[in-house]
A and B are shown apart, each in its own frame.
Chain A
Amino acid sequence: MQTTILYIGRDAEITIVMNRLLNARPEWKGICVCTDDEAIEICQTNEIDLVLLGNGIDAICEKVLRAKLTGLKPELKIIQHYGGGSGLLYGEIMSALN
Chain B
Amino acid sequence: MSQFILHKENTRGHANHGWLNAHHSFSFANYYNPERMHFGVLRVLNDDLIDGGMGFGAHPHDNMEIITIPLAGAIAHKDSMGNSAVIKNGEIQVMSAGTGVSHSEFNANADEQLNLLQIWLFPNKKNVTPRYDQQTLDVGVRHNNFQQILSPNADDAGVWIHQDAWFSLGKFDAGFETEYKIKKAGNGVYAFVISGEVTINGQVLNKRDGLGVWDTDSISFKANTADAEVLLMDVPMELN
Contacts and interface: CB of A to CB of B under 8 A. Distances in A.
B28 A88 contact: yes
Contacts of B60: 11, 13-14, 17, 84-85
A98 B35 CA distance: 13
A80 to B, nearest CB: 8
A83 B120 contact: yes
A61 B30 CA distance: 31
B127 A58 contact: yes
A56 B61 contact: no
A17 B58 CA distance: 11
Contacts of B37: 91, 95
A1 interface: no
Nearest to B24: A87
B66 to A, nearest CB: 9
Contacts of B27: 88, 90-91
Interface residues of A, number: 25
A90 B62 contact: no
Contacts, number: 77
Interface residues of B, number: 25
B178 interface: no
16 contacts: A9-B100, A10-B99, A10-B100, A13-B102, A17-B59, A58-B127, A59-B126, A85-B59, A87-B44, A87-B120, A91-B27, A91-B32, A91-B37, A94-B32, A94-B34, A98-B34
Given A56-B62, A83-B97, 18 more contacts: A11-B99, A11-B100, A13-B60, A14-B62, A17-B59, A56-B127, A57-B127, A59-B126, A82-B62, A84-B60, A84-B97, A84-B100, A88-B44, A90-B27, A91-B27, A91-B32, A95-B37, A98-B34
Interface of B: 27-32, 34, 37, 43-44, 59-64, 97-100, 102, 120, 122, 126-127
